[in-house]
Amino acid sequence: MFKLIPSGTVTSTPGFLAGAVHAGIKSDNAPDLAILYSKVPCTAVGAFTTNRIKSAPVLLSQKRLSRGQAQAIVVNSGCANACMGEQSLVDASEMAKLTAAKLDISPEDILVASTGVIGMPLPMKQIRDGIEKVGLHPDGGHDFAKAIMTTDTKPKEVAVQVDMRELKFTIAGVAKGAGMIHPNLATMLCFIATDASLDAAFLQSSLQKAMEISFNMISVDGDTSPSDSVFLLANGLAGNKAIGFDNGKVFQETLNEVCSYLARAIVQDGEGATKFIEVTVERAKNPSEACQASRTIASSLSVKTAIHGSDPNWGRIIAALGRSGVEIVEEKIDLYLNDVCVLRKGIPLPFDRDGLRTTLSHNDNALIRICLNLGDGKATAWGCDLSEEYVTINSEYTT
Amino acid sequence: MFKLIPSGTVTSTPGFLAGAVHAGIKSDNAPDLAILYSKVPCTAVGAFTTNRIKSAPVLLSQKRLSRGQAQAIVVNSGCANACMGEQSLVDASEMAKLTAAKLDISPEDILVASTGVIGMPLPMKQIRDGIEKVGLHPDGGHDFAKAIMTTDTKPKEVAVQVDMRELKFTIAGVAKGAGMIHPNLATMLCFIATDASLDAAFLQSSLQKAMEISFNMISVDGDTSPSDSVFLLANGLAGNKAIGFDNGKVFQETLNEVCSYLARAIVQDGEGATKFIEVTVERAKNPSEACQASRTIASSLSVKTAIHGSDPNWGRIIAALGRSGVEIVEEKIDLYLNDVCVLRKGIPLPFDRDGLRTTLSHNDNALIRICLNLGDGKATAWGCDLSEEYVTINSEYTT
């Protein structure tokens, strides 16, 4: 149905330009200020942190999106512009105004995002100079992806193309996030660009649905931040008949794929992560209980550390399942670890413990599958192991 | 009102005997099987894990306590006797029977607890031989305390004596627990013995109240286990007029103190912990919101790692507060870190960052105090930092 664009990035979507500079907000020489711009105004939707402390860029962008339209996004890394009182809002607003002036569009059409340390003033001189210096290019997506990184070790970007007889469009996305990642909404920034023409109400619903199976199903460390934002801009340049609730299936599935790809990329690059953990809970009482169980297991420190040590200590998985609060009947539970059944109908099966330990240690992925045999609820959550390196990253530097 | 008994232990309470042996359940030579015994039958109450997976000893002891009476407790470490199907129950029941025969009392008066690896069969030969070998002594409490340890680095025990004109009694307790510790109920075992004479309904309510401000307010790693149990036995040998709801104030306050002491001891000995973290949230909308906020902050990995690195990165504390879901008004929040005010009415105050870093690094305790300035809710939660050592302990060994 859709194909991956090789080395795709957010500017793989026709009509989008991007660029980035090192403005001097971060202390190293990495790019830290970026702009994403569409040649024409876009239908725009977003989703934001559920944290009760919200950064100024989140408050500003939420307000702007009430109009359902945007044309550009300005982002900085290195400073979250959060918890600085009134000044935060003044600064976020100035970022928007400067970008609007540069692009010769209305400040109302600018969205803002900031990520980094909380409780530090935004260095406005660097921001002002940086915005002036950013050049926008049709292949500027990769630079944009690098500029939004904080403790990320690699950029996260993807672009897919749908090419059917009557429907051709592209969806491309870029994300950052390596720590403070937890469901609802994962602590992260994500920018998605499409050239499809879409009904605004459908677009919002579509983003919400895609998030439920992607960004809301990942966990690095259980924390969330005041900055979490996902933006989706649709510029309509594909010229298709507007996609809405009645004909939205292909778009929804493509968007699901883009969001899932980026969500997995975020946990694979989790702070200090050496292993990707996929937890699938099947035949739960209902889908929401499957979600709850899989997320609890993927977030459990004792599970994460066992996986880090390649220890097939399934008792910790069962303990996390029991703690999740979902309905279970112990005598009905089947549990598989990397496809080896270790528990059937609640009774441990003999298995080659050393063999499974070896399999776990030689694989970058650990697969946990639980069948509760109670109903038809199914969900998959993604996480990563907890390593000594996670502690070092988070204790030695202010991030 | 009450005084601490120097080097107090659970057998500091008159009428209680205890003893322990190395039965061979744990692979090292440490004691791993213990019995606590009262010379006379006790009024007995308990509290158990909220995990939906419950170990066989928990199921058995819950059932026994429905009678409100017990005279002895048999405990092993090294194996949780959980998730082994029907066999777990058969084994737990045999442990009780053997102990009853040894003590010449009814099996109905025996409670059972097991802690250790989940999903391994209880080595019954070692258990049988061990129960036979245990000797009971009036000063056997210290041995009992050592025998229930798993990843604990030190025993946790306390005894206090109330000596008022008309009311004299002792309450002593012993606990274990270093990992898989989280509120409701913390993952741990605790055995409390008193010689006070008490009304059974009051005793249950009193334990619940004490737990709410102690074991339910500690977190090491967010996990809970199928084995968590707290037992409270009152043998009445103090001969006082029975304590009930009308005259229970002194007993309640003393029990609160015993439970708080043991709860703090558990997190101070948290796996890999180098620092004790105390989080007090004041003037929350109500007490339950104060609880929720303080517990969320004490459990946050990003807060725990910042404290580990002595980093006065208060933004992470505010992010965890925001995630807790309690009502906050950003412009009303005051935040103190080791008594230094770093945020007043939501605005960062200038502070000596290097000085505070030094204070944090030279102290074993980190004190976080937040004033929400909204109501009169107040609560304190206790946690510990997250160190590389926690990861090592939990990934290198099956625990």
Kindly report the CATH number assigned to the domain that includes residue A329. Answer: 3.10.20.340
Average pLDDT of every residue of chain B? 92
Are B258 and B309 in a shared domain? no
Q: Average pLDDT for residues A17-29, to the nearest whole number?
A: 94
Considering the entire predicted model, what is its pTM?
0.86
What percent of chain B has a predicted confidence (pLDDT) above 70? Answer: 96
Q: What is the pLDDT of residues A228-240, one digit of tens each?
A: 899 999 999 999 9
Q: What is the pLDDT of residues B268-287, one digit of tens each?
A: 888 788 999 999 999 999 99
Return the CATH number at A39: 3.60.70.12
> To the nearest whole angstrom, how far is the Cα of A273 from the nearest Cα of chain B?
12
Q: What is the pLDDT, as a whole number, of residue B34?
A: 98
SS3 content of chain B, % helix, strand, coil (to 5): 35, 30, 35
Q: Which residues contact B119 (CB under 8 A, 6 or more apart)?
A: A314, A315, A318, A343, A348, B82, B83, B84
Are B103 and B228 in a shared domain? yes
Whether B187 has a pLDDT exceeding 80, the answer reads no
Q: Indicate if B43 belongs to the active site.
A: no
Q: Which listed residue (A9, A43, A187, A224) is catalytic?
A: A187
- Where among A268, A288, A308 does a domain terminate? A268
Are A175 and A224 in a shared domain? yes
Q: Which of B380, B345, B343, B344 is nearest to B365 (CA)?
A: B380
Select the more confidently predicted residue: A166 or B160: B160
Are A85 and A195 in a shared domain? yes
Q: What is the pLDDT, as a whole number, of residue A323?
A: 86
Whether A127 has a pLDDT exceeding 70, the answer reads yes
Are B284 and B248 in a shared domain? no
Q: What is the pLDDT, as a whole number, of residue B191?
A: 97
What confidence tier does A185 reach under pLDDT thresholds 50, 70, 90? Answer: very low
Q: What is the pLDDT, as a whole number, of residue B183?
A: 46
Q: What is the pLDDT, as a whole number, of residue B334?
A: 97
Are B298 and B325 in a shared domain? yes
Q: Could you tell me the maximum CA-CA distance found in chain B, to the nearest angstrom?
A: 69
Are A221 and A344 in a shared domain? no
Are B223 and B356 in a shared domain? no
Nearest residue in B to A332, CA atom: B85
Task: Please list every residue in chain B whose beta carbon sits closer than 8 Å to the beta carbon of residue A182.
Answer: 323
| Minimal Cβ distance to A118: which of B52, B319, B395 | B319
Are B175 and B288 in a shared domain? no
- Where among A268, A300, A321 does a domain terminate? A268
- Where among A268, A299, A321 does a domain terminate? A268
What CA–CA distance (Å, rounded) separates B313 from A395?
10
Q: H-type helices in B213-352, by residue range?
A: 249-268, 287-299, 301-308, 314-323
The residue range of the domain holding A367 is 276-396
What confidence tier does B180 reach under pLDDT thresholds 50, 70, 90? Answer: low
Q: Which of B383, B366, B381 is nearest to B272 (CA)?
A: B383
Are A263 and A384 in a shared domain? no
Whether B68 has a pLDDT exceeding 50, the answer reads yes
The answer to whether the CB of B11 falls within 8 A of the CB of B140 is yes
Whether B331 has a pLDDT exceeding 90, the answer reads yes
The three-state secondary structure class of A5 is coil
Are B10 and B154 in a shared domain? yes
Q: What is the pLDDT, as a whole number, of residue B1?
A: 79
Q: What is the pLDDT of residues A244-270, one digit of tens each?
A: 999 999 999 999 999 999 999 988 888
Q: Which listed residue (B187, B280, B296, B380) is catalytic?
A: B187
What total number of domains does chain B contain?
2
Q: Which of B341, B340, B348, B303 is nearest to B323 (CA)?
A: B303
Average pLDDT of every residue of chain A? 92
> To the nearest whole angstrom, how far is the Cα of A399 from the nearest Cα of chain B?
8
Q: What is the pLDDT, as a whole number, of residue A227?
A: 87
Task: Please list every residue in chain A whose beta carbon sits closer than 8 Å to the beta carbon of residue B82.
Answer: 315
- The encoded tokens of residue A110 equal 């600018």
Q: What is the pLDDT, as a whole number, of residue B186?
A: 45
Are A383 and A263 in a shared domain? no
What CA–CA distance (Å, rounded) separates A27 from A298?
34
Contact A395 B309 (CB under 8 A): yes
Going by the DSSP 8-state scheme, the letter that residue A68 receives in this structure is T
Whether B185 has a pLDDT exceeding 50, the answer reads no
Q: What is the pLDDT, as a whole number, of residue B182?
A: 58
Q: Which of A275, A270, A355, A339 is nearest to A307 (CA)?
A: A275
In one-letter notation, the amino acid at residue B324 is S
